[in-house]
Amino acid sequence: MVTIRPATRDDAEALWSLLEPVIREGETYAFDRDMSRDRLLQKWLHHRAFIAEDDDGGAVGTYFLKRNHGGGGGHVANCGYVTDPSARGQGVARLMAEHSFEEARRQGFKAMQYNCVVSTNTGALRLWHLLGFRIVGTIPKGFEHPTRGLVDAYVMYRWLGD
């Protein structure tokens, strides 16, 4: 059983344990690989952040939710998700995604857009397609992967409804 709740600064250690390996490996997020703990946590918690916990209270995932753009684009949300490697394949990412859609709707957003889905992140791409996202743009060689070099990045979009 996984529960999702708002993250706070008190969750800093748990968040760091989830985020640091992902950022350091540099395969899926366009964050500086050498970003400091304080800067990364500040960036993550600057938005509405959530933490997913297992029955024992252990952190198995996190996501943030924010407005993608202002003005006329202010109805479109953006999220970033991280799942602990030990919890992958157990539905945690899907649960966080579905939670984020409901939270986005609750906050008045009408759509969700992911700005930089790395083409080599096949697990995320599979899930996003299953959840109704479509690729609306390709950024050729838009992401520098640490082992594969320059790879494409996708802009993905899903209407959340009224």
CATH number at residue 129: 3.40.630.30
Output the pLDDT for position 38. Answer: 95
Cα distance between residue 35 and residue 131, in whole Å: 31
Residue pLDDT, tens place only, 126-161: 999 999 999 999 999 999 999 999 999 999 999 998
Residue pLDDT, tens place only, 92-103: 999 999 999 999
Q: What is the largest CA-CA distance in the chain?
A: 43
- pLDDT reading at 162 higher than 90: no
Q: What is the mean pLDDT of residues 69-87?
A: 94
- Give the total number of structural domains in the chain: 1
Is the CB of residue 78 less than 8 Å from the CB of residue 110? no
At 86, the pLDDT band (50, 70, 90 cuts) reads confident
Total Cβ atoms within 10 A of residue 10: 8
Mean pLDDT, the chain, integer:
95
- pLDDT reading at 108 higher than 80: yes
Range of the domain at 143: 3-159
Residues in CB range of 63: below 8 A, 6 or more apart: 49, 50, 52, 79, 80, 81, 82, 96, 97, 99, 100
Output the pLDDT for position 16. Answer: 97
Residue pLDDT, tens place only, 39-69: 999 999 998 999 999 999 999 999 999 999 9
- What are the residue ranges of helices labelled H in the chain? 12-25, 37-45, 92-106, 122-130
Is the CB of residue 108 less than 8 Å from the CB of residue 67? no
